[in-house]
């Protein structure tokens, strides 16, 4: 068959689709919605995962936390000496951090003790970090700054566990590009964190362990665990794996939303595959009667499936991209934010996995075309007279 | 104009639009990769273990620190011990006029 005859069949198919425009536009709408939801989830989860993995590459190789009665407890700082004596450990540094609920704006902050200064060329901090032993100063995340209307030079007041008001001069504000990491952070000097949380002397929240060779980290974690059975070592690999799972295919929100979309699509495809309407059967019968071959009818049905599924796929994937990367996934954002008052704007970098797009296309376009062709082929090989009479 | 040509132009338009989105994504990813060096510096200096994805619960603020192994703990994707958690909506934050206005900007 020449190209022109294929175009003629396509012309006929498009006219036939337009004759049943309400039904077909309905299918395109539902199909586009399914691709949009699934595509948005794929874009969102993949970008989150890639960003998290890139950002968390610099996390400590090993975190040692103390457990008591099934809950995390403060850890004695003197354990750092014993851990640093283990072969392969290059340094142990206590971390002082905790959560703070701000009654004023009903938001949770993460309070963290400073343990050094950022590199000179770091563009993500306006101002500076407090020194590790400095008192009365703070660097805050953009989310905290917005919620408390503060800028560099302002004062932020927090209430300590002892009930005293503690004022801090804001010397640094993290830029909005770092929101995914710092939105709710307040960085203080170590003495201020200890006073704010009324931590007992010589106790820290946990210990950050640096190892010379990361492949040895699990062995060191095992040694720490056998030396201190009440501790829980968390490896950087486990942290990364957690994010892989949180934003992976099989995870909570992703699974829930995707399962709903998948079920809806299966119902749609099943409805198409289980049979043709009386009108469609009659159309096939008439076409056969006027001289169309079975192969022509199959081609027409192939075009029909392709027009609907390809149009829906292209529209759905474009809408998903625009939704996630230009509108910050505004449809899913309320679910992701949950009860949070301070949350980052989801201005994600558009990391695209071509394999996922290809999979989505293979899972939507091909089954739909198949489900359109198979019942038509059955009708096309039946005697036209029988088909038209029903 | 032939209907098949209109459809062909529609598909071509969509593909070109996707290609343009692909080009912009390349630029934005390059920007992020440049910024990610500074983000990595913040992570390493402050010894951070988690991204500030959602701070409505400890296990969403610090998923890597969630106590997955112990009884009656919450963690991402956990099956709730009590069904109330699934049907309890977040409180109405609209009373927080000032804070929410900032967020709306």
Which of A 265-294 lie inside 8 A of B, CB atoms? none
**Closest by Cα among A60, A94, A62, A67 to A78:** A94
Residue A28 sits at the chain B interface (C-beta within 8 Å):
no
User: Which chain B residues contact residue A246 at CB under 8 A?
Assistant: 63, 76-77
**Closest by Cα among A320, A316, A317, A306 to A368:** A306
Number of helices (H) and strands (E) in chain B: give both, helices first: 4, 0
Q: What is the CA radius of gyration of chain B?
A: 23
Q: How far apart, in whole angstroms, are the C-alpha atoms of residue A78 and residue A203?
A: 8
Q: How far apart, in whole angstroms, are the C-alpha atoms of residue B56 and residue B54?
A: 6
Judge whether A141 and A186 are in contact, CB under 8 Å.
Answer: yes
Q: What pLDDT does A137 receive?
A: 95
Q: What pLDDT does B88 receive?
A: 67
Q: Give the start-to-end residue ranges of the domains of chain B.
A: 3-90
- Beta strands (DSSP E) in chain A are 62-68, 71-73, 75-76, 89-95, 97-102, 107-113, 125-127, 137-140, 155-159, 165-174, 185-188, 203-204, 206-211, 231-235
**Nearest residue of chain B to residue A208 (CA atoms):** B47
Judge whether A17 and B7 are in contact, CB under 8 Å.
Answer: no
User: Which chain A residues contact residue B57 at CB under 8 A?
Assistant: 338-339
Q: Cβ contact (<8 Å) for A338 and B71? A: no
The token pair that represents A100 in the structure block: 């703070």
- Maximum CA pair distance of chain B? 69
Q: Cβ contact (<8 Å) for B99 and A107? A: yes
Q: Cβ contact (<8 Å) for A60 and B47? A: yes
**Nearest residue of chain B to residue A18 (CA atoms):** B3
Residue B13 sits at the chain A interface (C-beta within 8 Å):
no
DSSP A29-75: HHHHHHHHHHHHHHHHHHHHHHHHHHHGGGS-SEEEEEEETTEEE-E
Q: How far apart, in whole angstroms, are the C-alpha atoms of residue B63 and residue B53?
A: 10
Mark A111-143 as b/e (b = at least 16 C-beta within 10 Å): bbbbbeebeeebebbeeebbeeebeebbbbbbb
Q: How far apart, in whole angstroms, are the C-alpha atoms of residue A275 and residue A372?
A: 9
DSSP character for A106?
T
Selected for mutation to probe chain B from A341, A351, A361 (highest B CB count within 10 Å) is A341
Q: What pLDDT does A295 receive?
A: 87
User: Which chain B residues contact residue A21 at CB under 8 A?
Assistant: none
- CA distances A323 to A225, A331, B10, B19, Å, are 46, 8, 21, 17
Judge whether A30 and A175 are in contact, CB under 8 Å.
Answer: no
**All structural domains of chain A:** 3-55+247-389 (no CATH), 61-234 (2.40.40.20)
Residue A51 sits at the chain B interface (C-beta within 8 Å):
yes
Residue A156 C-alpha, separation from nearest chain B C-alpha, in angstroms: 15
**Closest by Cα among A152, A179, A165, A170 to A102:** A165
Residue A182 sits at the chain B interface (C-beta within 8 Å):
yes
Judge whether A140 and A131 are in contact, CB under 8 Å.
Answer: no
Q: Cβ contact (<8 Å) for B54 and A337? A: yes
Task: Give the contacts of A341 (CB within 8 A, at least 6 positions apart).
Answer: A105, A106, A107, A108, A147, B55, B93, B96, B99
Q: How far apart, in whole angstroms, are the C-alpha atoms of residue A13 and residue B1?
A: 15
Pairing of strands A165-174, A125-127: antiparallel
Residue B105 has pLDDT above 50, yes or no: no
Q: Cβ contact (<8 Å) for B65 and A65? A: yes
Of residues A10, A121, A181, nearest to B7 (C-beta)? A10
**Closest by Cα among A53, A59, A61 to A245:** A53
Would you write out chain A's pLDDT as a tens digit for each of its 390 residues?
678 888 888 899 899 889 888 888 888 998 898 889 888 888 888 888 888 888 888 899 999 999 888 788 999 999 999 999 999 999 999 999 999 998 888 888 999 999 888 888 888 999 999 999 999 999 999 999 998 999 999 999 999 999 999 999 999 999 988 888 899 999 999 999 999 999 998 999 999 999 988 899 999 999 999 999 999 999 998 888 888 877 765 555 666 666 777 777 777 777 766 667 777 778 888 888 888 888 888 888 889 889 999 999 999 999 999 999 999 888 887 777 777 778 787 788 899 888 888 988 888 888 888 888 887 787 777 777 776 676
Judge whether A360 and A38 are in contact, CB under 8 Å.
Answer: yes
Helices (H), A137-251: 142-147, 179-182, 190-197, 217-227, 236-246
């Amino acid at each position: 068959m020449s190209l022109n005859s294929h175009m003629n069949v396509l012309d006929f198919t498009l006219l036939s689709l337009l004759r049943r425009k309400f039904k077909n536009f309905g299918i395109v709408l539902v199909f586009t919605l399914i691709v949009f939801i699934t595509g948005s989830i794929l874009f969102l989860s993949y970008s989150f995962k890639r960003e998290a993995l890139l950002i968390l590459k610099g996390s400590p190789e090993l975190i040692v936390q103390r457990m008591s009665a099934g809950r995390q407890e403060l850890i004695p700082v003197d354990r750092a000496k014993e851990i640093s004596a283990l072969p392969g450990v290059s340094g142990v540094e206590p971390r002082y951090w905790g959560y703070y609920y701000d009654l004023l704006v009903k938001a949770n902050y993460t309070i963290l003790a400073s343990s050094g200064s950022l590199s000179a060329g770091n563009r993500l901090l306006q101002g500076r970090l407090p020194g590790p032993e400095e008192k009365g100063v703070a660097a805050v995340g953009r989310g905290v700054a917005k919620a408390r209307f503060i800028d560099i030079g302002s004062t932020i007041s927090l209430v300590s566990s002892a009930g005293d008001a503690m004022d801090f001069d804001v010397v640094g504000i993290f830029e909005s590009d770092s929101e995914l990491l710092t939105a709710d952070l307040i960085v203080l000097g170590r003495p201020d964190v200890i006073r704010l949380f009324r931590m007992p002397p010589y106790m820290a929240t946990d210990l950050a362990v640096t190892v010379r060779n990361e492949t040895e980290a699990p062995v060191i974690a095992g040694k720490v665990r056998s030396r201190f059975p009440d501790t829980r070592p968390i490896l950087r690999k486990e942290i990364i794996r957690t994010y892989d799972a949180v934003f992976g295919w099989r995870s909570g929100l992703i699974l829930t939303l995707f399962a709903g979309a998948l079920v809806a699509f299966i119902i749609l495809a099943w409805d198409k595959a289980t049979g043709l309407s009386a009108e469609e059967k009659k159309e096939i019968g008439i076409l056969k009667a006027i001289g169309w071959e079975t192969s022509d009818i199959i081609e027409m049905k192939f075009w029909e499936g392709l027009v609907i599924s390809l149009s829906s796929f292209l529209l759905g994937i474009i809408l998903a991209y625009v939704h996630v990367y230009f509108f910050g996934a505004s449809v899913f954002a309320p679910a992701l934010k949950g009860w949070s008052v301070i949350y980052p704007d989801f201005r994600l970098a558009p990391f695209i996995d071509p394999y996922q797009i290809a999979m989505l296309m293979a899972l939507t376009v091909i089954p739909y075309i198949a489900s359109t062709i198979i019942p038509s082929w059955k009708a096309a090989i039946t005697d036209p007279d029988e088909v038209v009479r029903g | 104009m032939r209907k098949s040509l209109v459809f062909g132009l529609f598909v071509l338009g969509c593909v070109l639009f996707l290609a343009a989105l692909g080009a912009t994504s390349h630029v934005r990813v390059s920007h992020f990769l440049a910024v990610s060096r500074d983000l990595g510096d913040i992570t390493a200096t402050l010894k951070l273990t988690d991204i500030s994805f959602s701070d409505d619960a400890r296990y969403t603020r610090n998923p890597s620190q969630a106590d997955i192994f112990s009884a009656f703990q919450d963690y991402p994707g956990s099956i709730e011990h009590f069904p109330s958690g699934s049907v309890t909506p977040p409180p109405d934050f609209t009373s927080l006029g000032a804070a929410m206005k900032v967020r709306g900007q």
